[in-house]
Amino acid sequence: MEQSGTSTRLADAVQGLTSELVSALRSGGPFGLAAGAPGADGPEAADRLALAAVRVVGADAVLPSVLRRTPAGPDDLAVLSAAVHAYPPPSDASPTSAWSHWAMRRALSRLGGAPDATHDAEPGAAWLDGATWQSLTHQLAVLAPLAVPGEDCAVTRVARERPADVARGFVRAVRRRDWLQAAGAGRWLVLLDGVPDTLGLEAGLAFVAQLGGADPRVALQVEAARLMRTGAPV
């Protein structure tokens, strides 16, 4: 029961953090990562819960600063750094977990956080070699925090080589009503050259937002895609 309660509090903290990120992306207003997590028993528990929520959200926890090129406060960088160091991937971590952690270190370095000598040591990406278009779309949607302007890594290079497959996966996700995967794939497609004109990405993203946007995780990906697509300061 206690573990179930902890999981529920973490899920609530993740949802709360994601909702705040969506609001910041939409408004362009200030966003503070170092606010702690409500609903925890005491300040230390709140701090632990907040760090765990940041680790779940990953590099997107500082997405407003990345996309709007606004300085991240030292307290926010300290929170991101603490989450990076508190939850390193184990040696047997899945490729997506290792890449998610790498993306957080990359974001920390991008925003001027404490230098991390390991941030350029990319995890392996061989698991994407020869991936079916369905599997590729799924993996890229999980790693949507890597879909930011100017990023260049093994995962982004694979995506750039297969825009038609990602577009195909986007359509499949929409048809299956997998709004989170569709939103993540759409975020990647905004950055890719060679996306088929017949896709209708803008209308597709609007459809995903309309039907799936009640989930803040979906809304976050859609808002990121819209910012990058409309040429807002990124």
pLDDT value at 176 more than 90: yes
Tokens of 59: 């590099």
Task: Read off the pTM.
Answer: 0.89
Q: What is the mean pLDDT of residues 98-106?
A: 94
Q: What local confidence, expressed as pLDDT, does residue 234 receive?
A: 46
Q: What local confidence, expressed as pLDDT, does residue 42 receive?
A: 40
The helix/strand count (H/E) of the chain reads as 11, 0
Q: What local confidence, expressed as pLDDT, does residue 91 receive?
A: 86
15-45 pLDDT, tens digit per residue, is: 999 999 999 999 887 777 765 444 444 444 4
The burial class, CB within 10 Å (0-12 / 13-18 / 19+), for 2 is exposed
Query: pLDDT band for position 112 (50/70/90)?
Result: confident
Task: Give the whole-angstrom CA distance, residue 163 versus residue 98.
Answer: 24
Query: pLDDT band for position 1 (50/70/90)?
Result: very low
Q: Cβ contacts of residue 55 below 8 Å, gap of 6+?
A: 83, 86, 87, 104
Query: pLDDT band for position 198 (50/70/90)?
Result: very high
Q: Which span out of 35-39, 76-80, 145-149 was modeled with the highest average pLDDT?
A: 145-149
Q: What local confidence, expressed as pLDDT, does residue 162 receive?
A: 96
Listed range (75-79, 113-117, 211-215) with the worst mean pLDDT: 113-117
Task: Give the whole-angstrom CA distance, residue 115 versus residue 94.
Answer: 25
